[in-house]
Amino acid sequence: MKLFTILSFAWLCFLAGETTYDLKEGGISIDLANDAWSLDTKQNQSGTIVYWFKRQPVEDSQGRQVIPNIAVLIEEVGDDVDVVTYTAMKRSRVAFDVQEVFTHEGGRMTFKNAIGYKGTYTDRGGLDHTVYIVHGLNEGKGLQVICDTTTDILDRLDDEFLLTLKSIRLSN
């Protein structure tokens, strides 16, 4: 039965055009919703590994070409930190208005050792953004997944962001 489930998931990913990325530093894998998304850069910023995924531009109601992005940050935190402490540390450093909090129990994601948020903020240029942020832990690594776009085009990106969040899983 497990083999059937794995094969079914792989077939659905193929049909949907998803691309899987194994983020070995964090021991996780994620799927991007379609081929409009790609890995832009991978950087090591003072010991934190950052994967930047960019999407092809989407035109907003003002005719601007907006490039949505997903960032995955992976850092050493040790085995003595729990996910509640980790998310509290990260939330204290990033200002956004929380609209919703979610975990694996609500169905938005399947990764169990994580807490997610949907929120909003206004950038320096005055544009309103909606973000999904997930803080998680795996084998002494802190994981942050940040999905960000302007609120004006969220309705066209929401399903893509949610598919990616739901796909976060431990690597094989």
Whole-angstrom distance, CA of residue 167 vs CA of residue 99: 22
Say which DSSP state 104 is in: G
CB 147 within 8 A of CB 161: yes
The share of the chain scoring above pLDDT 90, in percent, equals: 82
Whole-angstrom distance, CA of residue 55 vs CA of residue 163: 14
Predicted pLDDT of residue 17: 56
Cα angle 122-126-128, degrees, rounded to a multiple of 5: 40
- Residue 57 predicted with pLDDT over 80: yes
Q: Which tokens go with 154?
A: 């969220």
- Quick one: average pLDDT of 32-36? 95
- Average pLDDT of the residues of the chain: 90
Q: Which residues contact 26 (CB under 8 A, 6 or more apart)?
A: 49, 72, 74, 138, 141, 143
Q: Which tokens go with 5?
A: 């489930």
Residues 40-51 pLDDT 10s: 999 999 999 999
Give residue limits of the domains in the chain.
20-170
Cα angle 113-155-132, degrees, rounded to a multiple of 5: 25
CB 119 within 8 A of CB 98: yes
Q: Which tokens go with 149?
A: 């776009």
Q: Which CATH architecture has domain 20-170?
A: 3-Layer(aba) Sandwich (3.40)
Predicted pLDDT of residue 93: 87
